[in-house]
């Protein structure tokens, strides 16, 4: 499948041990023990994990996958979105196995250049060796891809193979008039990524969200975990212009991606009633501040914790329903230089319709009172 879709076999870029997700778990396949099964997995249109826990373990039961050979059909989709052409100078962020760097070189041809940056020194060395063995002329550097590779700039394209929440200004500076293609998800969100191809003109990048993908996040942009369930204090009965069904519907859109756009830096848990419990609870967190909204089957609504956080999230849910329940493809991203991390603005329908302004206007005109919730001491 990989060769058929992309014109190049991915087998030379895979390690002896890979993990294939089958029947609800990751199954280890070793070429030395079962070469036929390994080759079958290498040929399949599926992702294969090649590293766990940044290389410190190979524990597929409880570890975190930190490098993989992506699904070939998804790789093709992203290469097409990046619009790489003959003669282009391309920066790849996240070398991984080296396979995508080889595909990029195939597209830019002899007159083009591929510079790829990998943060993990072991992975960088392995990819460098595999590319050389395959006769692929690509520059492999070990470093922080969020800094780009200024020595090779300017670039016509930046192709990113790790999930990104905050786009660095360095990419805009090194690709001032080209395309930056990346898997993006909201800051703080556990949502799946969506591909966005940003057209950069004079340092300003604009693009609409495309298909859903799932990529391992850049190491410095992984989600901060909740260490424990928060104590949001005593719950207060109130009346809100939303219910559990409306919250559940919004969370379900692209696995929470749209909610992350509407409520920046939000992390959340939505616990549905089960067994003897009759309450749905929406737990909220933003920059270390917590709140909760409880919905019971008898129609009672309670709130606790930070009032501003509750009000923002209620407004986000109401806005989404009032505006026709839009999906990820109805939104886009505008990025401008602003220090180390670029300024990211979400737009709705068109780049000149900033989502933050639309939400503020909606909140001012929305009927209903502010929820009575206790602010943290």
Residues with catalytic roles: 70
C-alpha dihedral, 127 to 196 to 199 to 138, nearest 10°: 10
Q: Is 124 helix (H, G, I), strand (E, B) or coil?
A: helix
Q: Is 122 helix (H, G, I), strand (E, B) or coil?
A: helix
Token pair 């989404």 is found at 320
13 CB-side CA count, 13 A: 31
CA-to-CA distance for 246 and 289, rounded, in angstroms? 23
> Which tokens is 314 given?
């209620």
CA-to-CA distance for 69 and 10, rounded, in angstroms? 8
Output the CA torsion sign for 237, 243, 248, 251: negative
CA-to-CA distance for 199 and 176, rounded, in angstroms? 9
Query: What per-residue string of b and e applies to 302-332 under the rule 16 or more CB within 10 Å gives b?
Result: bbbbbbebbbbbbbbbbbbeeeeebebebbb
Stated as kind and residue range, the H or E segment containing 331 is strand 331-336
CA-to-CA distance for 75 and 102, rounded, in angstroms? 12
First to last CA, the chain: 58
- Of the candidates 15, 45, 16, the residue with the CA atom closest to the CA atom of residue 33: 16
- Of the candidates 326, 305, 187, the residue with the CA atom closest to the CA atom of residue 250: 326
């Amino acid at each position: 499948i990989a060769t058929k879709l992309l014109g190049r076999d991915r087998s030379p870029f895979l390690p002896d041990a890979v993990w294939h997700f089958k029947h609800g778990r990751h199954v280890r396949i070793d070429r030395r023990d079962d070469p036929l099964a390994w080759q079958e997995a290498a040929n399949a249109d599926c992702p294969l994990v090649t590293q766990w826990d940044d290389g410190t373990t190979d524990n597929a039961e409880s570890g975190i996958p930190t490098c993989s050979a992506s699904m070939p059909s998804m790789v093709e989709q992203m290469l097409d979105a990046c619009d790489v052409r003959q003669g282009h100078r391309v920066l790849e962020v996240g070398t991984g196995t080296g396979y995508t760097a080889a595909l990029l070189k195939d597209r830019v041809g002899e007159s083009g250049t591929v510079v790829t940056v990998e943060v993990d020194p072991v992975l960088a060395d392995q990819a460098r060796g595999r590319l050389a063995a395959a006769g692929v002329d690509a520059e492999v550097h070990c470093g922080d891809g969020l800094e780009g590779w200024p020595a090779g700039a300017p670039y016509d394209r930046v192709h990113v193979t790790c999930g990104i929440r905050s786009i660095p200004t360095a990419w805009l500076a090194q690709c001032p008039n080209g395309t930056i293609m990346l898997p993006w998800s909201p800051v703080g969100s556990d949502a799946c990524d969506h591909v966005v191809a940003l057209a950069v003109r004079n340092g300003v990048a604009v693009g609409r969200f495309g298909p859903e993908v799932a990529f391992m996040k850049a190491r410095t942009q992984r989600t901060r975990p909740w260490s424990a369930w928060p104590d949001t204090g005593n719950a207060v009965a109130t009346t809100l212009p939303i219910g559990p069904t409306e919250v559940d519907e919004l969370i379900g859109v692209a696995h929470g991606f749209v909610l992350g756009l509407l409520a920046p830096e939000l992390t959340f848990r939505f616990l549905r009633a089960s067994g003897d419990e009759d309450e749905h609870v929406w737990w909220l967190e933003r920059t270390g501040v917590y709140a909760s909204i409880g919905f019971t089957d008898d129609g009672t609504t309670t709130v606790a914790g930070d009032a501003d956080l509750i009000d923002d999230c209620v407004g986000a849910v109401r806005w989404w329903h009032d505006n026709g329940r839009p999906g990820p493809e109805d939104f886009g991203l505008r990025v401008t230089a602003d220090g180390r991390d670029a300024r990211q603005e979400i737009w709705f329908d068109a780049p000149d319709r900033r989502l933050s302004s639309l939400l503020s206007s909606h909140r001012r005109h929305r009927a209903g009172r502010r929820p009575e919730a206790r602010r943290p001491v």
